[in-house]
A and B are shown apart, each in its own frame.
Chain A
Amino acid sequence: MFEKEREFVKCLLIMILALSLVGCGEQNPNTIVGQEKAESVNLTGAGSSFVYPLLNQQIEEYRKNNSNITINYQSTGSGAGIKQVSEQTIDFGATDGPMTDEQLRAAKGGHLLHIPLTLGAVAVTYNIPNVPKDLKIGPTVLADIFLGKITNWNDQKIATDNPSVSLPDSKITVAHRSDGSGTTYIFSDYLSSISSEWSSTVGKGTSLNWPAGIGGKGNSGVAGIIQQTSGSIGYLELAYAIQNNLSYAMMKNKEGKWVTPSLQTTSAAAAAATIPDDMRVSIVNALGADAYPIAGFAWALVYQDQKDKAKGTALVNFINWAIHDGQALSEGLHYPKLPSNLVSREEGLLKSITFQGQPLMK
């Protein structure tokens, strides 16, 4: 018994010693000698997976000149972003689908502002053997394909718009998103605006009751289905379509012109659209000769009345940088730039953000 007690006490002493050493090792980073004593701010955001690549780059770039501000963004999906910012568990959210009036009323921290961070285009991608890029698909034809009414590629309605293309006699396999997504929202928003049948039977939303087709998880899931299945058609964020070398179709915009999705045509859609003061607007089927009809915004969701001065100031400064200098990172990642007339209006929104009645941005 004596031996066992000795061993036990020895172990206990060693454990206490080890723990105290670990405790001594930690240092408060804010008091390391030699570093500037700037107040460190921690911001958390969550939401749209679409903006994640761009936002992540912008956060890293911003940190180079503002090392005291740490921003953590998690791409959990637009719905989760809206929910969390309403519950005030995060400092800002990001979404591809604008919040409804009901959701805005349910937000616990007061009035939420929608501040456009970037634009996105939805490309209609297809995989038809021997048919290269730029197949022309008109609005009613697109709706009919996704409604399951046109089931074969050599259907007369598709052939009429493409007289010089030899379309095969094969079944159309429709691919869509199985997970809830802002891309689906923008796409269904467009289909609802050009087809009353779509609007009444399916409607618009991040998750839909699709009349036809199979679902793939994420943009990558849909891209995978299209790459593997000959005769398939689906919709993807433009960046994915470009990066995966998929063929995408030309769409007919509101002015009757055939437009290819690109950074320029997407920016044109935003520039020509009439944007209300709260910026919760859909820009599908926008006016403008060069406008691509299936485009949408991705917004940051920020409370107008901030509860923490340091965090509020950091957030406002970051978003201000992101919509100005941060746009330089857009094109490299296949995101269109925000049009300049919109950016100046966004500054107005940012200036309206206050802490205890005082505006945070000068």
Chain B
Amino acid sequence: MSKKRKLKVSMGDQTLRLLTLLMAISVLVLMVWMGWQMFDAARPSIQKFGLGFIIGRVWDPVKEQFGALPFIYGTLVTSLLALLLAAPIGLGVAIFLNEMATSKFRVVVGFFVEMLAAIPSVVYGLWGIFVLAPWLRETVEPGLAKWLGFIPLFQGTPIGFGMLAGGLILAVMILPTIAAISREVMAAVPDMQREAALALGATKWEMIRVAVLPYAKSGIMGGIMLGLGRALGETMAVTMVIGNRPDILLSLFSPAYSMAAVIANEFTEATYDLYLSALVEIGLILFGITLLLNFFARILVWSVARGPKGGNLV
């Protein structure tokens, strides 16, 4: 192509490019600016406690002693528990609705699964206090203690409120996200893959396992990571059932505290600067953990997507 012949780019296209570039940059700028503002506000606390803040276990506003470890522990345990429960169930829902349900059933049940995502967080919290916690305290936790009491996770007095309740509520809240995204990516698998597997004599389950899931692997992982992101930041529902006690205990029956919950609970009454900046520092840590997890999720999805589509499934 001759260099003298320049491509005539229309004004409209150039404006579009500039506009969308500005939008993309503004998102980046916003995130950096947010991070910077939080860091600035958290400075008194960072200067006083340093790295000891992340491993500190005491949260005492009266004695001006702050440490974030109990909150990090509570957030991670409840989110992990939610993921362990919601990922298989969400995937199961997606597989059933896509591969096995009749179309009427699929539409109705699919609609209700997605409605779960529309229920406000506070309503989940109220349901947690008045339905879930009593049920856990009266039925589930004594049952777990009786049959699985040798595992330290299921020891201790059942009070209903605690990490188990928090994990369960989060599981219900992230289920629709995982199910919806898994359904989408599984629906995008070409029918030819399915037909090929069936033609080779695969059973239904083998067909799903060999032809559909490997193809949809990266998308499903992306959906799970999205769900994890929601679980990490969920505030109201968690604070209403987790017991709000900054302790680090092994048993799932015991109360705990999450980062988002402590910020929501104590922000308005943080009467002195160090207290306020300690809370902002917790927000900064949550921000950082979320970014880190998303980063690792991206790498995971990328490495999985590079693998073969179809055929061997590990």
Q: Which residues of A contact B (CB under 8 A)?
A: 76-80, 82-83, 102-103, 171, 173, 178-181, 202-210, 213-217, 221, 224-225, 228-229
Contact = CB atoms under 8 A, between A and B. Distances in A.
A207 B245 contact: no
A229 B240 contact: no
Given A213-B245, A215-B243, A215-B244, A206 B269 contact: yes
- Contact-size category for B: 35 or more
Contacts of A210: 245
A228 B134 contact: yes
Determine the main DSSP class of B at the interface with A: loop
Given A228-B130, A228-B133, A214 B266 contact: no
B62 A215 contact: no
Nearest to B271: A79
Given A178-B265, A214-B161, A79 B270 contact: yes
A201 B274 CA distance: 20
A82 to B, nearest CB: 6
Interface stretch (B53-61, B196-204, B281-289, B298-306): B53-61
A200 B272 CA distance: 21
A102 B61 CA distance: 16
B249 interface: no
A225 B159 CA distance: 10
A216 B129 CA distance: 10
Given A208-B61, A208-B62, A228-B133, A215 B270 contact: no
Contact of A209 (B62, B162, B239): B62
B271 A206 contact: yes
A217 B271 contact: no
A213 B245 CA distance: 7
Nearest to B275: A207
Contacts of A224: 129-130
Nearest to A231: B159
A180 B269 contact: yes
B269 A203 contact: no
Contacts of A77: 268-269
A22 B7 CA distance: 47
A225 B129 contact: yes
A209 B265 contact: no
Given A178-B265, A206-B271, A229 B160 contact: yes
Given A103-B271, A205-B61, A215-B265, 15 more contacts: A77-B268, A79-B270, A79-B271, A83-B271, A179-B264, A179-B265, A202-B62, A204-B62, A205-B62, A206-B61, A207-B61, A215-B245, A216-B240, A217-B240, A217-B265
Interface string B34-66: 000000000000000000000000111111010
Interface string B93-124: 00000000000000000000000000000000
A229 B271 CA distance: 32
Nearest to B62: A203
A76 B268 contact: yes
A225 B264 CA distance: 19
Contacts of B265: 178-180, 215, 217
A229 B261 contact: no
Interface string B242-277: 011110000000010100010011101111100100
A171 B243 CA distance: 17
A206 B275 CA distance: 12
Q: Which 8 A-B pairs have the closest CB atoms?
A: A180-B269, A215-B244, A178-B244, A79-B269, A77-B268, A209-B60, A214-B243, A203-B62
A4 B255 CA distance: 66
B139 interface: no
Given A215-B244, A228-B160, A180 B58 contact: no
B26 interface: no
Contacts of B58: 209
B309 interface: no
B304 to A, nearest CB: 40
Given A208-B62, A214-B255, A79 B129 contact: no
A182 to B, nearest CB: 9
Nearest to A214: B243
